[in-house]
Amino acid sequence: MVMDINEIREYLPHRYPFLLVDRVTELTLGESIVAYKNVSINEPFFNGHFPHHPIMPGVLVVEALAQACGILGFKTVNKLPADGYVYYLVASDNVRFKRPVMPGDQLVLEARVERTKRGIWKFACRATVDGELACEADITCAERKVA
């Protein structure tokens, strides 16, 4: 199952400059997702992180992984933000950064469902660049109805 940016925008409430998933290349409902973020020098965070040595902030790498998790959750339960639902990032555990993410990189986002119970989802996540591990984390998200 492949999703382009137009379909991704249906499943994530985020918008520029905080939408961090450009395309989904694989998705198995209730199991896993593979997506990517094309990292451009035009990203607003590079103005200050760091001007002479631009590196994508680690918290944004984790956020990109969490957004991929949200897409997988939304698609699995067949709900949309437009229906009044949101996936909150509630925990990131065992986070490890292995290499910097820089302009020109394609950040591949992978998440696998470890377990789900009553709207709480636990995912095992990896972010890679050119097959090299950039970040790994266990991410927990909570599905909630918002008014």
What positions carry a catalytic annotation?
49
* Cis preceding-peptide flag for 17 (omega within 30 of 0): yes
HSE (side-chain half, CA atoms, 13 Å) at 54:
14
Task: Judge whether 80 and 11 are in contact, CB under 8 Å.
Answer: yes
Q: Helix, strand, or coil here: 60?
A: helix
Strands (E), the chain: 23-28, 32-38, 85-97, 106-117, 120-129, 132-145
Contacts with 48 (C-beta within 8 Å, 6 or more apart), sequence order? none
Q: Which two tokens stand for residue 83?
A: 């229906």
